[in-house]
Amino acid sequence: MFKRTIVYNLCFVLFFLLFYCSNTNTILSGPNSIEITAVSTFGGSNVESARAVTSTQDGGYAVLGYTQSMDGDVLNKQDNSFDYWVLKFNAQDELEWQNTYGGSLDERGRDIIQTYDGGYAILGFSFSNDGDLTENAGLQDYWLAKLDSNGQITWQKSFGFAGTDSGISVIQTNDQGYLITGILDVTASGGQGSTSRNLNRHAGGDYWVLKLSGQGDLEWSHYFGGNFTDTPEGVVQTADNGYIIAGGSDSNDTDISNPIGSYDFWVIRLSSNGTLVWEKSFGGDQIDEARAIVSSADGNYIIAGDTRSDNNDVSDYKGGADLWLIKISPEGHLIWEKTLGGSNFDVARALTASENGGFLLAGSSRSNDVDVSENKGQNDAWVLKVDDLGSLQWEYTIGGSNIDFAYGVTELNDGAVIAVGDTASDDGDILQNKGFSDVLIIKLN
């Protein structure tokens, strides 16, 4: 009887340890331990969303998104159209300042960087030609604004044609200019977007890449794509002052030479003056879309997105949609690939390199199995870290019973991680919802 009790107790302890270890998000020991320390919401009675975040030189961070509200946390807004919304926090997570930017119609911010001078560059799209804007070429234009360190506009520029052209990514280049990328609406561009390979004009959208001076003046402009829809999502500058751009394409002609499936990761390398050096497609026979790219410490590149494929370049498919990571060489050769997720839909929307090795990602998840430990309801914001080989180190889902997304992630000077997105929940991890959807800010350290 005594022996049986000991065996029973040992089995119970073993069961408890196995259950605990398989259901915790936190690395239990070692230098990579991390946990959620704050979940905050900001907004008013209408729609708000955060789309990007950047760490700042003072140890804090700045968040870009958009707001429709004129109340709650939103100050000095003149109407209920959408405006860019920037919130600047210090290293103690205190809101130092916030500003809205736009005109009388709709503006929505997509990307933010801190510039070499301590200010900011913010990019997205605009429908207005009044307020903070001075021109609009058509229905919707790229809109880039340069801010000083206090959030005041020092200059702003619009780029577009008669259709719906949308800015997505901005980087500051080595010559202290800017490279901006997004979608050209080919159908309303007056013939722009054609290439020498095919004189027929494209349908849908093309990658539209513009190189600007430090004051926002256009230095060159090029278009890349095929006969359907091509969407650039991330860009890095290369060691030779060229550029690599990653996104998604369902085209099969013009600049796309070897399509694999219905929608592929499509990656292009440009020279310093914007000419096409090479282009590559990665994926399987289903829908695969790249969302972000970063340089790795060994001179290669990591690209994150999502896949619904289980063949060709994609292995270890887990179900629904998986987060898909690939590593490529400067010549565009596939070095390795990894899928992460569960049996439902799991995607990446942002990627950044971590100072102590590996990579941080943010996106969303509907799973509660395999690589995803928990689902709080519908889509949860999903924050995770992988090592240099793409293996999962830790992951967290954050949300409530409604829809919650993460779109941006950054690492602060002290090693803390900030992820941003939006939430429609008012329960679970979300302590307060102020309107239809709020800016969601998650801190882990």
What percent of the chain is helix, strand and coil (3-state, nearest 5)?
5, 50, 45
What is the chain's length? 445
Q: What is the pLDDT of residue 204?
A: 67
Cα-Cα-Cα-Cα dihedral sign, residues 120, 121, 122, 127: positive
Q: What is the pLDDT of residue 227?
A: 87
The whole-model pTM stands at 0.91
Q: Output the CA–CA distances (angstroms, integers) from residue 367 to 40, 186, 312, in the order listed.
A: 23, 37, 24
Taking only the tens place, the pLDDT of each residue in 53-92 is 999 999 999 999 999 999 999 999 989 999 999 999 999 9
The answer to whether 56 and 63 are in contact (CB under 8 A) is: no
The answer to whether 28 and 418 are in contact (CB under 8 A) is: no
The segments of the chain whose pLDDT lies below 70 read 1-32, 193-204
User: Any residues with CB less than 8 A from the CB of 7 and at least 6 apart, and which?
Assistant: none
Scored b (16 or more CB within 10 A) or e, 395-415 reads bbbbbbebbbbbbbbbbbeee
Q: What is the pLDDT of residue 188?
A: 83
What is the C-alpha separation between 361 and 410, in angstroms, rounded?
Answer: 9
Cα 377-380-385 angle, rounded to 5 deg: 140
For each of the domains in the chain, give its residue range(s) and CATH number, in order of start. 55-365 (2.120.10)
Q: What is the pLDDT of residue 138?
A: 86
Cα 177-143-113 angle, rounded to 5 deg: 50
Q: How many alpha carbons fall within 13 Å on the CB side of residue 38? A: 14
Structure tokens belonging to residue 267: 């990656």
Q: What is the pLDDT of residue 30?
A: 31
**Exposed / middle / buried, residue 190 (Cβ in 10 Å: 0-12, 13-18, 19+):** exposed
Q: What is the pLDDT of residue 26?
A: 37
3-state SS of 345-413 is: EEEEEEEEECCCCCEEEEEEECCCCCCCCCCCCCCEEEEEEECCCCCEEEEEEECCCCCEEEEEEEECC
Taking only the tens place, the pLDDT of each residue in 143-202 is 999 999 999 999 999 999 999 999 999 999 999 999 999 999 888 888 786 444 444 545
**Among 257, 279, 255, residue whose Cα is nearest residue 206:** 255
What is the C-alpha separation between 36 and 193, in angstroms, rounded?
Answer: 45
What is the C-alpha separation between 402 and 423, in angstroms, rounded?
Answer: 8
Q: How many alpha carbons fall within 13 Å on the CB side of residue 286? A: 14
What is the C-alpha separation between 5 and 7, in angstroms, rounded?
Answer: 5
Residue 18, SS3 per DSSP = helix
Q: What is the pLDDT of residue 23?
A: 33
Place of tokens 């760490």: 55
